[in-house]
Structure 1
Amino acid sequence: MEILGFQKLSLVDYPEKLCSVVFTGGCNFRCPYCHNKSIVNQCGDTMDEEKLEKTLLKRNKYISNLCISGGEPTLQKDLVSFIKNYKNLGFSVKLDTNGSNPAMLKELLENKYVDYVAMDLKTSLDDYERVTGKSGFEKKIMRSLKLLKTYPIDYEFRTTFVKGMMTVKSIEGLKQMVHNSNRFVLQRGRLNNEVLLPNKEMTSYTKEEMEALKEEFRSFVKEVRLNS
């Protein structure tokens, strides 16, 4: 596992739980507003897995929940064995993913190795290439989306809203994608010079605009949340 970041304590990355967060290196998407620039570009020193395990075991009396984020964790070939190990050690595991590897996601779900999955939906399917900078992922995204709706697991879909990236048409497409899902989380994109690909066309939604968007999705999803 290429581990490029570690946060001992997070109050926000695992719903209703305190957790530690591991950040894996690399991503197969290039969303301009991404705030994990160094991790996506695989910059920095990797963390030793044995050292990580010792650190987590010392703290698991107080924190026994682990969030695996990135980058995109499913690019790591040994992700399944990594998660399986922590499940065997008694940890509850949350996975953050962009949904581009449905085969690995299915393996994790079938074996009950993950307890919670947060899948990023970047935009509507017909706009994925423009936002992510990559083509040919639409079918995989839909396969992952359907897997999460099918398996008995706690999950959420979430989207980062950035003006210049999101259009009225893409918002309408997102509504259909998340229709009848358990939970949809709207995230207000925060822009600065440290994002992956700074662009003058990108601006942030106001808090009032995000509240209005939240109301638009309320009739499509069982639960809608706003991370502002």
Structure 2
Amino acid sequence: MKIHGLQKMTLLDYPSKVAATVFLGSCDFRCPFCHNFELVDGTAAPIMDDAELFSFLDKRKGLLDGVVITGGEPCLNSSLKDLIIRIKDMGYLVKLDTNGNHPDVLKDLLSENLVDYIAMDVKNSPEKYSDTCGVKIDTEIISESINLIMNSGVDYEFRTTAIKEFHTAEDFAKIGEWICGAKAYYIQQFTERDTVPDKSLSSPSAEDMEAYRQAAERYIKNVILRGL
């Protein structure tokens, strides 16, 4: 397996844990606000293979609690399950980041207790999903992943990157209704970067973000703003 990025230590990516973050390449979405688009379009060359990754993780035993697997979209990688099994066999917790478009993969991993935490992106309200993702999306598939995660018994969070041009408070009310009763929902403020595909996108104001939070809070008790 080719590893396209490695953050050797993070206190942010895995709640309450010290972790390393592993970036896998490729994604089936084309979100115009993606901060890791070089992983999506293939312009980011691999930095190591799995043997080098496991050598690194072996040296970090006792220093790291877990490993975050992100992308891109990790569930596209046919070797994901084997990668997770080897990481778990080393004694690490595993957090998986996903776009929710592969419930079959999630179901398989959850059935074998291979993930300890899942973070799933909920890109927008169902009506605006395809426009936000840049490709045609079947939101029934997204709903399947939401239901799997919420009923899995595994710790999890849902999250949305809020972009001024894509989101309104009404959208966040609809998202809240979609994931009603979720354990945790994070609304992340989009930050403008040269690396995102669409340079015209902008960050919502602090007032916008608070309106988004209040809209989602009608359905979810634990709504947290990130990025302010």
By the TM > 0.5 criterion, same fold? yes
Structure 1: runs of 5+ lacking an equivalent: none
SS at match of 1:172: helix
- 8 A Cα contact 2:169 2:211, kept in partner: no
Residue aligning to 2:163: 162
- 8 A Cα contact 2:18 2:66, kept in partner: yes
Higher strand proportion: 1
Residue aligning to 2:38: 38
Residue aligning to 1:193: 194
SS at match of 1:171: helix
- 8 A Cα contact 2:30 2:133, kept in partner: yes
Residue aligning to 2:75: 74
The one-character-per-residue Cα deviations of 1:21-52 (angstroms, maximum 9, x if unpaired) are 00010111111111112111122332111011
Structure 2: runs of 5+ lacking an equivalent: none
Residue aligning to 1:52: 53
Distance in 2 (CA, whole Å) between partners of 1:61 and 1:196 is: 39
The one-character-per-residue Cα deviations of 1:71-120 (angstroms, maximum 9, x if unpaired) are 11001011011101111111100000000000000011111100000000
**What does residue range 60-209 of structure 1 map to in structure 2 within 5 Å?**
60-198=61-199, 200=200, 202-209=201-208
| One-letter amino acid matched to 1:29 | F
| One-letter amino acid matched to 2:225 | L
- 8 A Cα contact 2:172 2:216, kept in partner: no
Number of equivalenced pairs: 226
Distance in 2 (CA, whole Å) between partners of 1:59 and 1:25 is: 23
- 8 A Cα contact 2:170 2:215, kept in partner: no
Residue aligning to 2:226: 227
Give the 3 Å change call, closer, same or farther, for CA 153–109 of structure 1 in structure 2: same
| One-letter amino acid matched to 2:212 | L
Distance in 2 (CA, whole Å) between partners of 1:136 and 1:204 is: 24
- 8 A Cα contact 1:4 1:42, kept in partner: no
- 8 A Cα contact 2:175 2:216, kept in partner: no
| One-letter amino acid matched to 2:2 | E
Distance in 2 (CA, whole Å) between partners of 1:170 and 1:221 is: 14
- 8 A Cα contact 2:169 2:212, kept in partner: no
Distance in 2 (CA, whole Å) between partners of 1:126 and 1:36 is: 25
Distance in 1 (CA, whole Å) between partners of 2:96 and 2:204 is: 27
| One-letter amino acid matched to 2:98 | T
Distance in 2 (CA, whole Å) between partners of 1:44 and 1:142 is: 31
The root-mean-square deviation of aligned C-alpha atoms, in Å, is 1.3
SS at match of 1:86: helix
Give the 3 Å change call, closer, same or farther, for CA 2–125 of structure 1 in structure 2: farther
SS at match of 2:107: helix
4+ residue stretches of structure 1 with deviation over 3 A? none
The one-character-per-residue Cα deviations of 1:195-221 (angstroms, maximum 9, x if unpaired) are 1232x3x22112232133223322311
Distance in 1 (CA, whole Å) between partners of 2:209 and 2:137 is: 30
Moved more, 1-10 or 182-191: 1-10
SS at match of 1:13: coil
Distance in 2 (CA, whole Å) between partners of 1:44 and 1:214 is: 35
